[in-house]
Amino acid sequence: MSHPPLRLTGRSSSNFTRVARMFAHELNVPLQFAVVHDLTALEAATFDGNPALKIPTLHVGPSPLFGTENICRRLVELAGRTGDPRVVLPEHVTADLGRNAQELVWHAMAAQVQLRMGLALAKLPADNVFFTKIQAGMAGALSWLETHLDQALALLPGSRDVSLFEVTLFCLLEHIVFCPTLPLDGYPRLLAFASAFGERESARRTSYRFDPRPDSQKA
């Protein structure tokens, strides 16, 4: 299916970026990939025009699109699969438990970024109440997901090719292993899910890594 040139701007080490990249692979939509090397930059141009200074951003021709969920929806459209019941987006799961599951995954993904930015990058004190609350909320979200994972998965169509819930949950769990913030030893169901989902081709082709910096930016 023909469409304008697509450029995704993000990082290979980003959980939100990986969601978009995995969805593109699952839908067979080719993307050019542009790396943001400096997350501390304060210019929108560094983030391919995103005024919120966040990643990822998708450019469809000259048009930018901000936000992972928006990007995944656009990829579905570009793949010509709008309305395809085998591609499961959040609005296709109407049970409250399913909606809660997706919300808590998004929350934990954002918390993971805040902890990494605040503690690893900014070197702020870990005992700050801001971070202790983020950690407590993230642990609470993971505990809820551990308890309700089987129910949440059962709400998805059995004939599905891919669901945003599963991709986001997988990317979250893999990112916690890649950039440790909280121990995952107490979440055997979540770990088993991540291990099985990691066998998908889209997961193998988008594994987390730190993008090498251009020579001009090396210390």
The domain containing residue 175 runs over which residues? 87-203
Q: Structure pTM?
A: 0.95
Determine the pLDDT at residue 214.
Answer: 82
Spatial distance between the Cα atoms of 147 and 139, rounded to a whole number of angstroms = 12
pLDDT in tens, the chain (219 residues): 566 689 999 999 999 999 999 999 999 999 999 999 999 999 999 999 999 999 999 999 889 999 999 999 999 999 999 999 999 999 999 999 999 999 999 999 999 999 999 999 899 999 999 999 999 999 999 999 999 999 999 999 999 999 999 999 999 999 999 999 999 999 999 999 999 999 999 999 999 999 998 865 443
- Any alpha helices (H) in the chain, and if so which ranges? 15-26, 68-78, 96-115, 129-154, 164-178, 188-197, 201-204
Question: Is residue 195 one of the residues assigned to a domain?
Answer: yes
Tokens for 139, please give them. 């642990």
Write the DSSP symbol of residue 163.
E
Question: Is residue 17 one of the residues assigned to a domain?
Answer: yes
**Residue pair 28/5 in contact by the 8 Å Cβ criterion:** no
| Final residue of a structural domain among 82, 103, 119 | 82
Is the previous residue joined to 56 through a cis bond, with omega within 30 degrees of 0? yes
88-122 in b/e form (b: 16+ CB < 10 A) is bbbebbeeeebbebbebbbbbbbbbbbbbebbeee
Number of folded domains that form the chain? 2
| Final residue of a structural domain among 35, 53, 82 | 82
Question: Is residue 119 one of the residues assigned to a domain?
Answer: yes
